[in-house]
Amino acid sequence: MAVTRTFSIIKPDATRRNLTGAVTKMLEEAGLRVVASKRIQMTRKQAEGFYAVHKERPFFGELVDFMISGPVVVQVLEGEDAVKRNRDVMGATNPADADEGTIRKTYAESIEANSVHGSDSDENAKIEIDFFFNEDEIVG
């Protein structure tokens, strides 16, 4: 299995509850390595750009408001089959549907305040990593 990269966000509901370390520990225990990480306050423009694919969805406005409601931690994760590995440990988008032992089952408050984001494909991982990081900020 190839070592690949994925993109992760620890969302405002998790940073607010001081869960950055707890969430990162679950990512690391799932076999992912944090090769870049920064805590940022997203601007509205950044959040709208990042989630542009969802702009026609009814929840778009609330999603953007939530993502700028507090700091987030953006990360690049590396590991074997990183996109799938990360999605497995995150659990389903809606914590009510997430499996036991996943980040969202353990920590998420709701479908919106669901603690983490993770890329859904290798192609989107590259786009999302490039959105927040320069290559020289990623150190494997």
Which residue ranges make up the annotated binding site for ATP? 11, 59, 87, 93, 104, 114
> Which residue stretch of 21-29, 38-46, 77-85, 106-114 sits at the interface with ligand CMP (rule: CB under 6 A)?
106-114
Binding to ligand CMP by residue 117, rule CB under 6 A? yes
Beta bridge partners of 79: 4
The one catalytic residue in 117, 125, 128, 133 is: 117
Binding to ligand CMP by residue 15, rule CB under 6 A? no
Give the integer Cα–Cα distance in Å for 82 and 111.
23
Please report which helix (H) or strand (E) contains residue 9, including its range. Answer: strand 3-10
The answer to whether 54 is a known catalytic residue is: no
Name the strands in the sheet holding 3-10, side by side, starting at the edge strand that comes first in the sequence. Answer: 33-40, 72-80, 3-10, 116-118
Give the integer Cα–Cα distance in Å for 22 and 27.
9
Binding to ligand CMP by residue 111, rule CB under 6 A? yes
Q: Name, in order, each residue with C-beta under 8 angstroms of 47's C-beta and a sequence gap of 6 or more.
A: 63, 64, 67, 68
Binding to ligand CMP by residue 108, rule CB under 6 A? no
Binding to ligand CMP by residue 69, rule CB under 6 A? no
Contacts with ligand CMP by CB under 6 A: the residue count is 8
For ligand CMP, the closer of residues 36 and 64 by Cβ is 64
For ligand CMP, the closer of residues 4 and 93 by Cβ is 93
